[in-house]
Amino acid sequence: MDWLEPSELRVGLGCMRLPDERTGIATIEAALEAGITVFDTARAYDGNEQLLARALRGRVARVVTKGGMTHIDGRWMPDGRAKTIRSDCESSLAALDGLPIDLFLVHAPDPRTPWRTTVRALGRLLDEGVVRRIGVSNVNRGQL
């Protein structure tokens, strides 16, 4: 196995637990200064995409975000229906205020929706050029 040189390694910041706006922006700015170029967020992280958009404006960075979740009775639940995947992606694009989505992931498989339905919805986003890349998160080997 060839080892990657440090200059080839990609380091990202998971933005799920960013605190208030001031501290969140300072954290993202510190990450940028340290050479981090990949930022992972999700529609389910309340206000997180908007915060990331403000902090990354005019900077070189890659955005990874996730969709396919619905808020029910105070909890986020997987929702892999095609209309939810599309709607979540469009909401993320609006929240990111012009930043492109470099990688859009389905946040978690929905046991109520056929997996192929969810994956096809992701594929349409890619085929239509809405996002640059697609992927999955929180899947098991069979789903992968």
Q: Which of 13, 24, 45, 68 is catalytic?
A: 45
Find out whether 126 and 133 touch, Cβ atoms under 8 Å. Answer: yes
Amino acid at 58: G
> How far lies 134's CA from each of 14, 47, 96, in Å?
17, 22, 17
CA angle 61, 67, 68 (to 5 degrees): 165
Active site residue 72: no
Report the distance separating Cα 136 and Cα 110, nearest Å: 12
Tell me which residues are annotated as active site.
45
